[in-house]
Amino acid sequence: MNLILLGPPGAGKGTQALKICKSFNLTHISTGDLLRDETKSESELGNQIKSIVESGNLVSNEIILKILKKFIDGNNNQNGFLFDGFPRNKEQSLLLNKLMNEINFKLDGVIMLDVNKDLLLDRILKRKKDEGRADDNEEVLQNRLRIYLEETQPLIEIYENENLLIKIDGVGEINQVNQRINTRLESL
Ligand code: ADP
């Protein structure tokens, strides 16, 4: 099974991704995590990525494709992948289709975690205290949210038209949200 996890920053994608991967034996691919790993390596590419991520803008599709391919080549899980934070715009969704074709995989569902804007801000400012991510501050968050609405949200309609959308209420206890997801995935 191959899934995409979609949702605004702070919706809880990372938390739910780990649980879904554990339950369904999928490999977690978080482009955000892969980018943060690359910046820690302090390579030239890493330094370039760092300033973009810290401003809340999107890293170029070319860089994303490069790090994704590298990860997929090194992680051959025939059981499937969960893409978290990718695709984030229309061009990336086309790149994903191409990538999946190349490895003979098909997309089974797109989970959309739905959370209202006020709650997102609360959650992210709390996460800043726990994790110290440089892009978790109010100003950068507004930029991330704006980009989400402009570039990522339109994907919801595309996947809805392809009958792949699984819309989940992301408000509630972590385990409660996870249960909602599992119930829908079990009936796929
Ligand atoms: P969140 O979903 O909370 O914004 P992520 O960890 O998914 O957090 O992403 C953090 C940042 O990494 C984004 O704001 C963006 O700069 C960059 N990023 C992650 N995934 C992508 C992607 N698919 N395309 C472009 N940039 C990305």
Residue 120 to residue 15: CA distance in whole angstroms: 14
Q: How far is the CA of 85 from the centre of ligand 1 (A)?
A: 6
Segments of 22-154 assigned E as strands: 27-30, 81-84, 109-114
Look up residue 149 and give its two tokens.
């609405």
* Whole-prediction pTM: 0.95
8 Å CB contact between 86 and 7: no
pLDDT on residue 118:
87
List the Cα angle 32/95/61 in 5-degree steps. Answer: 50
Q: What is the pLDDT of residue 128?
A: 86
**Ligand 1: centre distance to CA 47 (Å):** 16
From 31, 51, 95, the mutation candidate for ligand 1 (largest count of ligand atoms within 8 A of CB) is 31
Give me the residues of the chain with pLDDT under 70, please: none
* Predicted local distance difference test score (pLDDT) of residue 132: 86
Calculate how far, in angstroms, residue 14's C-alpha sits from the geometric centre of ligand 1.
Answer: 11
Q: Which atom of ligand 1 is nearest to the CA of 32?
A: 6
